[in-house]
Amino acid sequence: MSPHRQPRRPSPRPAARHAAAPAAPSGRRAAGAAVAALLLAGAAAGAAAPAAVSSSTGRAAALADVGGLDLGSASLLEVSAAMDSGRVTSARLVRAYLARIGALNSRGPSLNAVRGLNPDAAAQARALDRERRVSGPRGPLHGVPVLLKDNVDVAGLPTTAGSVALAGSVPDRDAFVTAQLEAAGAVVLGKTNLTEFANFTTAGMPSGYSSLGGQVLNPYDLADTPSGSSSGSGSATAAGLAAAAVGTETSGSILSPARATSLVGVKPTVGLVSRSGIVPISASQDTAGPMTRTVGDAAALLTAMTGVDEEDPATAASAPVAGTDYLAALDPGALDGARLGYVPPADPAAPSAADQVYLRALDVLRAEGAELVPVTVGGTGAPGILVDEFRRDLDAYLDRLPENAPVRSLEDVVAYNAAHPREALKFGQTLLEQSLAVDLSDPAQRARYEEARDRGLAETRAAVDTALGRLTDDPADDLGAVVSNSRTTGTGARAGYPSVGVPAGYTDLGRDPVSLVFLGSAWEEAQLLSLAAGYEAAADAWLPPAEVNPSAFRCTSVATTTAHRGSCPP
């Protein structure tokens, strides 16, 4: 069978979602020059952050409950439904999420997940509320507050990639994905912290650390890694600081933090979501994707994010699935009769704590009618290509910025860091320096790179498609997906193929989150999302961080219980 068969195409999205995004209010663009105004401390103060733990129980309840919603656990679709029913407005939601950011981001557990806020979010929310009253909602994202990873351009707001060298870098136009989300009615609440340059600054940098943003913490365990590089998007969404967030991945940077923070993470096929206006690592592997509470949330967000973009040639291949409504395409019975490959645990005789959760997840799939077939997913012997592509692709991104941008090239970034080692180089910049040494205009270097690129892509695609049975002529060999305990992430990323991770539960000791990852072939997002949604509904495994890790939330003004609050520190 062809490895590139097209999935069925559900009805297209409403035309309004493809309309040109409305121009950002002038205030946001005017705010761009004042980078300090974007820093969270000032923004949170402007949002009237709640008082400390001495706040009354009534105040805490008011923060936690908005129109019948507990924002610490509410899904994007629940937030959308509450607005549809008139129980809450977008403006009220923005105020409530800002209050949660004030209580949890730099206070309480100090998650440090949100780097900066959009000063126009409240005005945008009010405008969308007026539009809803006059003409109804554009779709499920209308008025929904979302956060974007701080390597995604929002016109007038700094895009820093966590680097002090880019602290004053303010784009004058939106990333394509930002424009798509705003056209769908989403309210961009602000930007999330990340591992610096999406974890491509140096070897050994902790996940979630950046020279500008500091260290992101994991709400499920403040001492555990939030993983990366979309660590802020994961931490913020898990803690209910927005209804959803956008992350980016080159190899694991959506799926891994989604696992660490018990979220649904979608790593789309490369080319389904445009990368224009996103600080890059590798044109061969980069993609943006949803990080959400539920599979339905991810389907709604992904629907709005996709589209063919002339600035990103890779999106031309997505034309056959452009307009897919992934939310409408969800099939609640997808598991019944499905044939799925599964990657066995590393040691079936003595499974790790995480693999014990994984084995229980496989039992759920079987109980829902899926046939499970053990498979092996290989990889590639080709050298990596990220160092080869980074300089070329970063310089191309920087070239689209305004003329007054503080840096114009990777060479400028490395030089700035070297001149400011105290602020910039706590962990060094080995990967930046290695990338700076690459010159793809040199015929020998280019030939070596292209051979590694093409071989790696061919071998990893063959590995996935072989495991899925897509390279034979016998339909009986065909598998709907390969599932694993996050063990197919690297191969899927190198192949440019889609994966969906969904919470599978928590280890018995430590309560560490575990994901079940569904891997497919190109453009099979609709099928993977349906399979993941079926598992999610049957397993009902997700728990909010305040339940898994109550001590982190007990002494905050958004706590939903008064148990042991008398023991809070001064």
Q: What is the mean pLDDT of residues 526-538?
A: 98
| 159-183 residue pLDDT tens | 999 999 999 999 999 999 999 999 9
* 453-464 mean pLDDT: 98
Vertex 108 angle, CA 105 and 112, to 5°:
25
In the predicted model, is pLDDT for residue 464 greater than 60? yes
pLDDT at 1 exceeding the cut of 60: no
Domain-located, residue 92 = yes
The amino acid present at 109, given as its one-letter code, is P
3-class secondary-structure state, position 290: strand
Helix 386-399 vs helix 410-419: crossing angle, to nearest 10: 100
- Domain-embedded: residue 46: no
Res. 93: pLDDT tops 60 = yes
Write down the pLDDT at residue 307.
97
pLDDT score at 352: 97
What's the token pair of residue 508? 């018995």
Of 484, 460, 12, 570, nearest to 259 by C-alpha is: 484
Task: Return mean pLDDT, the chain.
Answer: 90
Residue-range definition of the domain harbouring residue 260 = 59-383+443-552
Residue 19 has pLDDT above 50, yes or no: no
Residue 228 domain flag: yes
Residue 156 pLDDT exceeds 60: yes
pLDDT of residue 30: 42
pLDDT of residue 11 exceeding 80: no
Which tokens in the block code for residue 138? 């554009």
pLDDT above 70: percentage of residues in the chain: 89
Q: What is the pLDDT of residue 31?
A: 41
CA distance 369 to 336: 4
Percent of the chain residues past pLDDT 90, beyond the cut: 84
The full DSSP string for 421-486 is HHHH-SS--HHHHHHHT--TTSHHHHHHHHHHHHHHHHHHHHHHHHHTTTTSS-GGG--SEEEESS
End-to-end alpha carbon distance in the chain:
65
267 in active site: no
**Type of residue found at 104:** L
pLDDT of residue 565: 74
Residue 333: how many CB atoms within 10 A of its CB?
Answer: 11
Distances, alpha carbon 487 to alpha carbons 230, 321, 358, in Å? 19, 27, 11
Question: Do the domain assignments include residue 35?
Answer: no
Helices (H), 308-406: 353-367, 386-399
Structure tokens at 419: 């001149």
| Model confidence at 154: pLDDT above 90 | yes
pLDDT digits (tens, 9 = 90+) for 392-441: 999 999 999 999 999 999 999 999 999 999 999 999 999 999 999 999 99
207 is catalytic: no
Q: Which amino acid is at 293?
A: R
What are the structure tokens assigned to 231, written together?
Answer: 């660590």
| pLDDT at residue number 559 | 86
pLDDT band at 569, cuts 50/70/90? confident
Model pLDDT, residue 65? 66
**For the residues 551-563, what does the mean pLDDT come to?**
87
In a domain, 328, yes or no: yes
Nearest Cα residue to 228 out of 203, 258, 202, 204:
258
| 212 within a domain of the structure (yes/no) | yes
How many Å apart are CA 429 and CA 490, to the nearest integer? 23
* Number of domains the chain is built from: 1
**Rounded to whole angstroms, how far apart are CA atoms 180 and 6?**
23
Q: Is the pLDDT of residue 490 over 70?
A: yes
- Nearest in space to 195 (alpha carbons), one of 161, 241, 235, 144: 161
Q: Is 298 helix (H, G, I), strand (E, B) or coil?
A: helix
Q: Torsion-angle region of residue 338: left (phi > 0), alpha (psi -120 to 50) or beta?
A: beta
Tens digits of residue pLDDT in 232-265 = 999 999 999 999 999 999 999 999 999 999 999 9
Q: Which among 207, 229, 233, 515 is annotated as catalytic?
A: 229
Which is the catalytic residue, given 149, 211, 274, 484?
149
Q: If pLDDT is split at 50, 70 and 90, which confidence band does 106 have?
A: very high
Q: Tell me if residue 149 is catalytic.
A: yes
Q: What is the average pLDDT across 215-221?
A: 98
Please say if the pLDDT value at position 13 is more than 70: no
Q: Decide: 345 and 351 in contact? Cβ < 8 Å.
A: yes
pLDDT > 80? residue 27: no
For residue range 282-331, list pLDDT tens digits in order: 999 999 999 999 999 999 999 999 999 999 999 999 999 999 999 999 99
Q: Is the Cα torsion angle 448, 449, 453, 454 positive or negative in sign? A: negative
In a domain, 177, yes or no: yes
Is 50 exceeded by the pLDDT of residue 24?
no
DSSP structural state of residue 76: H
- When pLDDT is cut at 50, 70 and 90, the band that residue 20 belongs to is very low
Closest C-alpha to 540, from 367, 390, 344: 367
473 pLDDT above the threshold of 90: no
CA distance 518 to 335: 12
The pLDDT, as a whole number, for residue 55 is: 42
pTM of the model: 0.90
Tell me whether residue 495 is in a domain. yes
Give the CATH number for residue 188: 3.90.1300.10
Strand order in the sheet with 187-192: 114-117, 187-192, 145-149, 244-249, 287-292, 264-267, 499-506, 513-519, 481-484, 339-342, 371-374
